């Protein structure tokens, strides 16, 4: 394990995807970077493991070719409820289903190659004006990045906990050893919960259950999705169920003094959007640019801009979660107009403007009224 230095330009707290992406982006701008995480790699986490084409492009801007880590491509998104289904391909490129541990391994290798100082198994217990308290001693740091996840202690220590709105849902993930039956990432809508299914290998799919009920598990929910249950019954379960909280949270500020938050620590959108990784790749690039300029207010502005579209989409998806009647009408309406769904998907991946989206929204509204 790399020993902690006396001082560093940037101390990154947390070595999940956000911490590693920030460390990489900052190293590429010439900063001396130290990263500490209380866990040891490869770090796993409950995640749908789907990366949209815009997420892959954002990773490329950090020099990360995620396709090199393996995984399985998917060509678009399919929505399904009890009565109807609609699907559309991404307008450009494909998404990638990639196991969290494979993503982590690739990012760690890249960070080592880039010269990031990595300290695994090291818990950070506090921050001070001059730096970070890690392993019970002070490491001097000009800048501190809090990449310590949704429950971020750094956010609390820096006094950045105030948020505009906040809601939580619960996700449970399991891998199943079965060949993907679809070229799409599928979202199955049920009453009060969703299943989302990502192909991650030619012989494996990742299944995530998301709901507001922290007691609901995959085995309880599956009978409500007979088609999925039938397909999965042929598979062996390849690992135990792993749970996590997915929060919709927008912070009032993402930096104070020399401390900036990134990734889930800096706020998040509901997991059903599949945008978490894309967001944090984009934030890392923006944060590194702001560090180089010596002005974290630039990061604040970029962070707000980056979050706008996913937050809007998350709001729509959560509305569909809460309003069953509206949801079945919307899916039925879209099933009758697959081109409309394709345009909504293009907006999801940032290839259509919000104005285009609003005109599509009006078209959808009209279609629902005339069904
Ligand atoms: C159920 C579910 C499904 C999801 N599905 C998708 C999906 O399909 N696609 C997608 O793009 N996103 C998805 N997401 C979102 C995505 O998983 C997150 O956005 C992403 O994991 C956030 O990464 P992070 O690095 O910010 O945080 P984390 O991955 O939580 O990493 C934080 C790290 O900080 C470390 N840490 C914490 N405190 C300390 C400390 N005091 N000292 C040292 N280290 C510390 C932890 O050990 C951890 O390794 C999903 C999320 C959930 C919950």
pLDDT tens for residues 179-215?
999 999 999 999 899 999 999 999 999 999 999 999 9
Q: In the block, which residue shows the tokens 């880039």?
A: 114
358-363 long-range CB contacts below 8 Å, 24 or more apart?
A: 363/337
- Does residue 95 line the site of ligand 1, with CB under 6 A? no
On the question of pLDDT at 331 being above 80, the answer is yes
Closest by Cα among 34, 41, 31, 42 to 13: 34
Among the atoms of ligand 1, which is closest to the Cα of residue 245?
Answer: 53
The reply to whether 204 and 67 lie within a common domain is: no
- Determine the residue of 104, 205, 276, 277 to mutate for testing ligand 1's pocket, defined as the one with the most ligand atoms within 8 A of the Cβ atom: 276
- Determine the residue of 1, 45, 205 to mutate for testing ligand 1's pocket, defined as the one with the most ligand atoms within 8 A of the Cβ atom: 45
Of 140-154, 185-199, 237-251, the least confident: 237-251
Among the atoms of ligand 1, which is closest to the Cα of residue 246?
Answer: 53
* Domain coverage including residue 356: 323-369
The reply to whether 159 and 187 lie within a common domain is: no
The reply to whether 130 and 211 lie within a common domain is: no
In a domain, 224, yes or no: yes
On the question of pLDDT at 368 being above 60, the answer is no
The reply to whether 192 and 269 lie within a common domain is: no
Higher pLDDT, 82 or 31: 31
Of 107-111, 174-178, 279-283, 325-329, the least confident: 325-329
Domains in the chain, number: 3
- Does residue 190 line the site of ligand 1, with CB under 6 A? no
The reply to whether 153 and 176 lie within a common domain is: no
Nearest CA to ligand 1 atom 52: 47
Q: What average pLDDT does range 148-160 have in this prediction? A: 98
- In this structure, what CATH number is given to the domain that contains residue 183? 3.30.70
The reply to whether 196 and 291 lie within a common domain is: no
Rounded Cα–Cα distance for residues 326 and 98 (Å)? 32
In a domain, 28, yes or no: yes
Nearest CA to ligand 1 atom 1: 171
Rounded Cα–Cα distance for residues 64 and 75 (Å)? 20
Higher pLDDT, 346 or 24: 24
pLDDT cut 90: percent of the chain above it: 77
- Does residue 38 line the site of ligand 1, with CB under 6 A? yes
In a domain, 238, yes or no: yes
pLDDT at residue 237 in the model: 63
Rounded Cα–Cα distance for residues 358 and 347 (Å)? 10
CB 199, CB 224: distance < 8 Å? no
Domain boundary at 279, 294, 315, which? Answer: 315
pLDDT at residue 133 in the model: 97
Domain boundary at 297, 315, 333, which? Answer: 315
In whole angstroms, what separates CA 241 from the centre of its chain?
19
The reply to whether 240 and 254 lie within a common domain is: no
The reply to whether 184 and 307 lie within a common domain is: no
CB 288, CB 298: distance < 8 Å? no
Q: For residue 126, what are its two tokens?
A: 């506090």
In a domain, 363, yes or no: yes
Q: What average pLDDT does range 227-238 have in this prediction? A: 86
- In this structure, what CATH number is given to the domain that contains residue 107? 3.50.50.60
Nearest CA to ligand 1 atom 35: 14
Tell me the average pLDDT of the chain: 92
pLDDT-derived band at 324 (thresholds 50, 70, 90) equals: confident
In a domain, 81, yes or no: no
Domain boundary at 211, 245, 279, which? Answer: 245
In a domain, 82, yes or no: no
The reply to whether 341 and 364 lie within a common domain is: yes
In a domain, 263, yes or no: yes
Rounded Cα–Cα distance for residues 233 and 313 (Å)? 33
pLDDT at residue 358 in the model: 66
The reply to whether 224 and 139 lie within a common domain is: no
- For the stretch 266-300, pLDDT in tens is 999 999 889 999 999 999 999 999 999 999 999 99
The reply to whether 146 and 281 lie within a common domain is: yes
Rounded Cα–Cα distance for residues 7 and 346 (Å)? 45
The reply to whether 67 and 207 lie within a common domain is: no
Supply the Cα-derived Rg of the chain in whole angstroms. Answer: 21
Q: In the block, which residue shows the tokens 């998907």?
A: 345
Q: For residue 156, what are its two tokens?
A: 């609390």
Among the atoms of ligand 1, which is closest to the Cα of residue 39?
Answer: 47
pLDDT at residue 92 in the model: 87
SS3 302: helix
Q: At what angle do helices 324-336 and 296-322 cross, to 10 degrees?
A: 100
In a domain, 66, yes or no: yes
- Determine the residue of 13, 148, 303 to mutate for testing ligand 1's pocket, defined as the one with the most ligand atoms within 8 A of the Cβ atom: 148
pLDDT at residue 165 in the model: 73
């Amino acid at each position: 394990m790399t020993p902690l230095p006396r001082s560093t330009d940037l101390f990154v707290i947390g070595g999940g995807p956000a911490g590693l992406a920030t460390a990489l982006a900052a190293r590429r701008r010439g900063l001396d970077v130290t990263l500490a995480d209380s866990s040891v790699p490869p770090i796993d986490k409950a995640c749908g493991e789907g990366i949209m084409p815009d997420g892959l492009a954002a990773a490329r801007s950090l020099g990360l070719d995620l396709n090199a880590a393996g995984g399985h491509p998917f060509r678009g998104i399919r929505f399904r409820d009890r009565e109807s289904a609609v699907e559309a391909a991404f307008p450009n490129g494909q998404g990638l289903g990639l196991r969290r541990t494979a993503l982590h391994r690739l990012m760690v290798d890249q960070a080592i190659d880039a010269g990031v100082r990595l300290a695994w198994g090291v818990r950070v217990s506090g921050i001070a004006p001059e730096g970070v308290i890690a392993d019970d001693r002070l490491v001097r740091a000009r800048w501190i990045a809090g990449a310590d996840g949704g429950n971020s202690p750094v956010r609390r220590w820096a006094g950045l906990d105030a948020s505009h709105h906040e809601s939580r849902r619960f996700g449970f993930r399991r891998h199943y050893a079965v060949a993907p039956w679809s070229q799409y990432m599928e979202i199955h809508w049920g009453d009060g919960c969703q299943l989302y299914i990502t192909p991650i290998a030619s012989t494996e799919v990742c299944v995530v259950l998301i709901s507001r009920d922290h007691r609901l598990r995959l085995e309880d929910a599956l009978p409500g999705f007979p088609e999925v249950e039938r397909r999965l019954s042929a598979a062996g379960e390849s690992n135990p169920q792993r749970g996590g909280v997915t929060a919709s949270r927008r912070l009032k500020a993402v930096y104070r003094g020399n401390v900036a938050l990134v990734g889930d620590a800096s706020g998040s959108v509901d997991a059903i959007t599949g945008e978490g990784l894309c967001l944090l790749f984009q934030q890392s690039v923006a944060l590194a640019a702001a560090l180089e300029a010596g002005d974290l207010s630039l990061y604040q502005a970029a962070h707000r801009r980056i979050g706008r579209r996913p937050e809007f989409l998350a709001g729509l998806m959560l509305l569909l979660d809460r309003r069953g009647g509206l949801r079945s009408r919307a899916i039925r309406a879209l099933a009758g107009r697959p081109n409309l769904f394709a345009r909504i998907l293009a907006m999801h991946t940032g290839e259509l403007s919000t104005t285009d989206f609003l005109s599509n929204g009006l078209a959808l509204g009209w279609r629902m009224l005339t069904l």
